Amino acid sequence: MRTPLIAGNWKMNCTLAEARELALAVVEAAKGLNDREVLLAPPFTALSATAKELAGESVILAGQNVAWEEKGAFTGEISPAMLKDVGAMAAIIGHSERRQIFGESEAMINARLRAALQAGLMGIFCIGESLEIREKGQADVEAWLKKQMEEGLRGVSAAAARRLVIAYEPIWAIGTGKTASQEQAQQAHAYLRLLLANMYDKSLAEEARIVYGGSVNPSNIDELMSQPDIDGALVGGAALDKEQFARIIQFQAAN
């Protein structure tokens, strides 16, 4: 059985005071929900303040990115050891904003993912197609996802892949209010699970969590979570609103 994971990606938002307040509200909302995991990814500046609010609680702390080197002259980067030192157990890697706005290549993302998993962090590996590819049809979407999976997971051993979470985030659905339909998301997730089975093995594919991201909100979370291959959500905008995020983590799947 896969434990559902609801993750809040705060992106470049939250002062320390805002981060503390939001983290506290999430801790309250997550109390007693033992059948799911909740994760928060604040900006680097708010990791420490958020960690203090999460101390002794089950909510997981994550970085929004991570470097592939341990330490040294890498201005602007944060290493896996630094994330662990501040209390983070996970890192988001390959977010489409990193790829599109900051030009991160498949090779960089692969190096980040390998380093994170190697260090024992949960690696939340983001992939997803553009609107242009989506409009070309399902075969093109699948070819794109296959390429991203193969390049991103190059050299990742089966043992390391057990700490992997795949986040399917179609670029056209991020921050646009356009969610993939539950059928579109389910179809992509089922395909990603098939790829994992081919790249690793069936049991790893069955155990791996594949979460959906892109305009997740209180009114679509229940139906998304009712799909057999959707194991959670990576939430942007709605994760910044305590009431909305509380409702999202309290999702009720129909099955």
Site for ligand 13P in 234-253 (CB under 6 A): 234-238
Residue 17 neighbours by CB distance under 10 Å: 10
For residues 148 to 177, the per-residue mask of contacts with ligand 13P, x marking binding by CB under 6 A and - elsewhere, is: ---------------------x----xx--
Q: What is the smallest separation between the CB atom of 83 and ligand 13P, expressed in angstroms?
A: 17
For the chain, the farthest-separated pair of C-alpha atoms sits apart, in whole angstroms, at 50
| Cβ atoms 22, 14 nearer than 8 A | yes
Active site residue 95: yes
Active site residue 28: no
253 burial (CB, 10 Å; 0-12 / 13-18 / 19+) is middle
Please select the residue that binds ligand 13P; options are 214, 220, 229, 249, rule is CB under 6 A: 214
Closest to 41 in 3D by CA, of 123, 103, 100? 123
- Catalytic option among 37, 95, 129, 142: 95
Q: What is the smallest separation between the CB atom of 252 and ligand 13P, expressed in angstroms?
A: 20
Choice between 62 and 200, CB closer to ligand 13P: 62
Distance CA 19, CA 49 (A): 7
Q: Which residues are catalytic?
A: 95, 169
Question: Which residues make up the interface to ligand 13P (CB under 6 A)?
Answer: 9, 95, 169, 174-175, 213-216, 234-238
